[in-house]
Structure 1
Amino acid sequence: MIDLIGAVALLLWGLRMVKTGVLRAFGARLRQWIGSGTRNRFLAFGIGLTATIALQSSTATALMTASFAGMGYLGSMMAQAVMLGANVGTSIVTRLLALDLHFLAALLIATGVVAFGISHSKSAKGMSRVPLGLGLMLLSLHWLGQATEPMRHSQVLIALMTSLDAVPVLAVAVAAVLAMAASSSMAIVLLAMSLAASGTVTPALGMALVLGANLGGAFPPVAATFHHGAVALRVTVGNLLVRLAGCVAALPFLDWIAKLLSDAGSHGATLIVDAHIIFNVTLAVAALPLLRPLSNLMRRIVPEAETPDDGPRYLDPEHLDTPALALAGAARETLRIGDRIAAMIEANLEALRKSDTARCTSVAVMDDEVDRLNSAVKLYLARLDRTALDEKDAQRSDEIIGYATNLEHIGDIVDRNLRELVQKKIRGQLSFSTEGASEIEELYQTTLSNLRLAQSILVSGDSQLARQLVEAKVGIRHLEERSAANHMARLRDGLVASVQTSSLHLDMLRDLKRINAHIAAIAYPILKSGGSLRESRLIGSDQCAATHDNI
């Protein structure tokens, strides 16, 4: 059993190596190819088949397809056609792996290791993972054969398989659960192939395991797209229903199909793989003409959410005729953007403290929400009739747009800069010095405090708070300069933690300083209207300006 578990684990790891290698080498082009090449259902079917053969994972193809459908780049019908092609593609890959090519395993592994060692570009390193992964998969299949060979003499396993053979529905359920746990139908089909080759399972039972593997393999994409919107979820749920219908239709005829394949010359492992191919090809032939009704059915089963939680809440179109109400709603929506920015900064700080990659992912999701809300606020205020606004309302509109734009810039800095720095720290397993970590956290907390102050200024327009915020910006500059000087002192002392994290420390200081500059921008219009803002902080600049005016 330990040998069997290890062989299956090696198979899954090899499969992952091939998938990630292809995605790293051709990810962007592959996504573009899938998204742009689906003009008709047959072409879409071919794209799904080819992409899955390249990736050796129908799950990866399913997730990319659902993503394109969710973004509106791919229609529901074409997405379902891609999924049908992916199902056939994974069965073809299984057939290729079923060939007795284990003698190539060592050569492929050696080739992959050497190629990875001498490669320098990201795409070349990605491609070198492909032969390495294929070699590991072939080696794992050889080990699977060796591990399952003694099973034919195991009385416990024979009794278990006999009970499953008597209840095919239970066999389907067991294989489905295993495929869900492994996130791979291919691995379970190959396992069933090894059991059939050793004579542990009958042809009918092996085919029941194939049905269960196909059914279970459709669940991981559904789980992965559950929170990605109705359009993306329809693709994966539709694929699940198609596979479920195929399993229900084929289950009563397993003995007859097994006899038919045996009479045609398929036996043992070959019969299992052939059944896998026939099942998916039959599903494709039956479902391709029914894509339109299937698409309509999925719209009923998975309807659009009435009001997305991450959409605007206070931008009422009916208030556009009343500028005061419209501006109040836009201000409330902009405060929501500020709250999301605060949550992003807090999540980034927690990820930094705990080396938590999940929080890094949440930062990226929140930044997408900030972008959507910012666009909604600007488009809403753009619909106001500027000729109907008095000077005060026009100025208020500009303040809200300016603040929302600055918040959006802050979100980009947190997502594209600070998040990347935290991920770099996690990947490198680096740690700041105690003093350095304390300084960075102080700068984070001060930034959050300044953001809360800016939120209050947006609501109140208070000039005293605005002056306080600008003074806090000066304090941030001094804090950043002091932290940078302290860091350089630690470098001169040769503190190992500071040497290893030098670029991270200084880059974080710079980015947090930039964020505070954007936060302070809300105060400038208020101070300028009250005559409390200089044009420049250069000494003598006001006198020079006065002299110029006199001239």
Structure 2
Amino acid sequence: MASTLVLIDLLGAAALLLLGLRLLKSGVSTALGARLRQFLASSTRNRLTAFGAGLLTTLALQSSTAMAVIVSSFVAQGLVAPAMAQAVMLGANVGTAVVAQILSFDIHWLAPITILLGVIVGSRKSRRSRGLGEIGIGIGLMLLSLRLMSEATEPMRESEALVAFFALLSDAPVIAIGLSAALAAVSASSLAVVLFIMSLAAAGSIGHELCLLLVAGANVGGALPPVFATASEGTAARRVVISNLAVRGAGAMVLLLIAGWLTDHLPASVNLAQLTIEAHLAFNVGLALVFLPVIGPMSRLLTRLFPDKPTAKDTGPRHLDEALISDPPSALAAAMRETLRVGDLIEKMLEISLVALRTNDEHLCRSVSQLDDEVDAVHQAIKLYLARIERTGMDEAARRQSSNILDYAINLEHAGDITERSLSRLTVKKIEKQLQYSPEGMSEIEDLFRDTIDNLQLAQRVFINRDAQIARRLMEGKVTIRRKERASVERHMSRLQDQRPDTLQTTSLHVDVLRDLKRINGHLMSVAAPILEEAGMLRASRLRKG
């Protein structure tokens, strides 16, 4: 019974440690997340600054796992070079070890103070205050958990079963590393497992060699969660986390081979709790010293081992040639071609949505969602491509052209969102509830759909030719759409007054579809506004004077 209570106390303290760690990460993300990401993205110009950025950011985030996910997403978006991402991760690993060193000091008396301050600050309504409150509470819970863990492990000195268990682990070093790695992977925190090992070491439950092996296993296990978290992020992102796992795995293999030799040279009176923390820090500092000078060759090797998967012909950006970045006119022409392709995707989404509405085909609605994912990916690629174009060689006209391309791409992306998130879901709702529009209502919706597709094709011509007369025709189409939408709503209300069953059942769907098509047209018309304004054909306001 006593052993069971000790185990419960230990598990409860470990759970409290994980809770405090999660609150701390959440608080930092809430209060400082945007600034940390900006700092990280802007500090990767060379390997030393990248290493320092990873170390400092991890000191704030308290998690190399979170850092791995963030930096791998930056690599996937082209914001951080792969080699610099390796340097960031080496710094992040050292940062986690420094955090463990700080928490190992006897500062548990700060726990009630930080929790109290966290509750007071977090009671304010602002988002930043809530984040700071979570930081205070998280730190307090972590310090409190370490105190509880220390108290819970004291009776372990007298447990013959635990002594026998750890003796078996000492004779099976590979299993010891695997067990520690599994604990770190399940808890998604090598820091929590290292602190747990420290508590066991302080209680005298484990020996010198087992202490080193468990620390190595915790480091390997801490690199596993990011591998699973980035499984869908693309090959570039996965290379970052796989390389981090490989680096830690190589360090664990070396430590497995020399652990016996190291323990033979350690004094018998060494403090095992302190040895745990120092071994964790030395492990990661050693990896940084070995691998930081060779991150370039390591990145190239990983590119050969994990090459980018070839994209299908109809997916991903086609025209954004990286070789044209230093030639602004050619690069802008490439961005224009890619933006026109986004418009073609939107047209396809609208046509499929209309067919799905006619035929009640839910499968077509799912294909609209897939097309919207394609639109989002290409839109993101266009934005990043425009941001990387060499600005020093651009005159005012080129800058204005870049801005116009970006504006049109954004409006097309919004039109795609409306088509997928609203129009398509309204069709699914109609199918699930087995509703039918009245023949007149369906005819009005189809008419507005066709007008919207025609306006999209006209907007594509305006985007290419920048012709003021075509732009005027497009803008006049906005008035036509508004009148048709208003007339359809009035006829719909008339059918409602006649108590027609099909109209009564679909009244909200009918009005929502008209509203969404009107919103899509509003986004399409935006391409004409700067052209008409330059030509002096656009009034500043529709209000009458006086």
* TMscore range, shorter length: 0.5 to 0.7
Aligned-partner residue type, residue 411 of structure 1: G
Aligned-partner residue type, residue 40 of structure 1: N
Which of 135, 148, 151 is the matching residue for 2:153? 148
Counterpart of 1:292 in structure 2 is 296
Range moving further from structure 2, 94-103 or 451-460: 451-460
1:62 aligned to 2:68? Answer: yes
CA distance in 2, matches of 1:21, 1:333: 38
Counterpart of 1:513 in structure 2 is 515
Aligned-partner residue type, residue 30 of structure 2: R
CA distance in 2, matches of 1:448, 1:194: 69
Residues 1:370 and 1:307: Cα distance change in structure 2 (over 3 Å): closer
1:269 aligned to 2:277? Answer: no
Counterpart of 1:75 in structure 2 is 81
Aligned-partner residue type, residue 142 of structure 2: M
Aligned residues: CA RMSD: 4.8
Q: How does 1:441-452 map to 2 (within 5 A)?
A: none
Contact 1:18 / 1:129 at 8 angstroms: preserved in 2? yes
Deviations 1:396-423 (A, max 9, x none): xxxxxx99987532234579x979xx9x
CA distance in 2, matches of 1:71, 1:242: 24
Residues 1:55 and 1:371: Cα distance change in structure 2 (over 3 Å): same
TM superposition shift of 1:294? 0.6
Q: How does 1:110-509 map to 2 (within 5 A)?
A: 110-117=116-123, 119-262=124-267, 266-307=270-311, 310-311=315-316, 336-337=345-346, 368-369=376-377, 371=379, 408-413=413-418, 473=485, 477=489
1:42 aligned to 2:44? Answer: no
TM superposition shift of 1:262? 3.8
TM superposition shift of 1:230? 1.9
Which of 113, 129, 140 is the matching residue for 1:107? 113
Contact 1:370 / 1:408 at 8 angstroms: preserved in 2? no
Aligned-partner residue type, residue 78 of structure 1: M
Counterpart of 2:100 in structure 1 is 94
TM superposition shift of 1:235? 1.3
Deviations 1:432-489 (A, max 9, x none): xxxxx99x999xx99999998789989999xxxx9xx99995587469989xxxxxxx
Residues 1:48 and 1:251: Cα distance change in structure 2 (over 3 Å): same
Q: TM-score, normalised by structure 1?
A: 0.65
CA distance in 1, matches of 2:353, 2:217: 42
CA distance in 2, matches of 1:26, 1:291: 29
TM superposition shift of 1:371? 2.7
Deviations 1:91-112 (A, max 9, x none): 0101111112111111111110
Residues 1:195 and 1:342: Cα distance change in structure 2 (over 3 Å): farther
Aligned-partner residue type, residue 42 of structure 2: S
Contact 2:412 / 2:523 at 8 angstroms: preserved in 1? no
TM superposition shift of 1:128? 2.1
Contact 2:343 / 2:456 at 8 angstroms: preserved in 1? no
TM superposition shift of 1:31? 0.9
Counterpart of 2:502 in structure 1 is none
SS in 2 for 1:201: coil
TM superposition shift of 1:33? 0.9
Provide structure 1 residue ranges, at least 5 long, that are not aligned to the other structure: 316-328, 346-360, 377-401, 423-436, 483-505, 523-551
Deviations 1:75-133 (A, max 9, x none): 1221111110100000010111111211111111111001111x332222212221111
Provide structure 2 residue ranges, at least 5 long, that are not aligned to the other structure: 1-6, 321-337, 355-368, 385-406, 426-431, 459-476, 495-507, 525-546
Contact 2:445 / 2:514 at 8 angstroms: preserved in 1? no
CA distance in 1, matches of 2:284, 2:198: 17
TM superposition shift of 1:56? 0.7
Contact 2:485 / 2:514 at 8 angstroms: preserved in 1? no
Deviations 1:22-45 (A, max 9, x none): 121121221111111122211211
Deviations 1:229-249 (A, max 9, x none): 222221111111111111111
TM superposition shift of 1:177? 1.1
TM superposition shift of 1:151? 3.0
Q: TM-score, normalised by structure 2?
A: 0.65
Aligned-partner residue type, residue 368 of structure 1: D
Aligned-partner residue type, residue 268 of structure 1: L
Contact 2:422 / 2:516 at 8 angstroms: preserved in 1? no
Deviations 1:295-322 (A, max 9, x none): 111111221121158426899xxxxxxx
Residues 1:473 and 1:239: Cα distance change in structure 2 (over 3 Å): same
SS in 2 for 1:10: helix
Contact 1:91 / 1:276 at 8 angstroms: preserved in 2? yes
Aligned-partner residue type, residue 87 of structure 2: A
Aligned-partner residue type, residue 408 of structure 1: E
CA distance in 2, matches of 1:410, 1:101: 56
CA distance in 1, matches of 2:121, 2:23: 14
Residues 1:365 and 1:332: Cα distance change in structure 2 (over 3 Å): closer
User: Aligned residues: percent identity?
Assistant: 40
CA distance in 2, matches of 1:480, 1:29: 51
Aligned-partner residue type, residue 18 of structure 1: L
Aligned-partner residue type, residue 15 of structure 1: L
Range moving further from structure 2, 405-414 or 203-212: 405-414
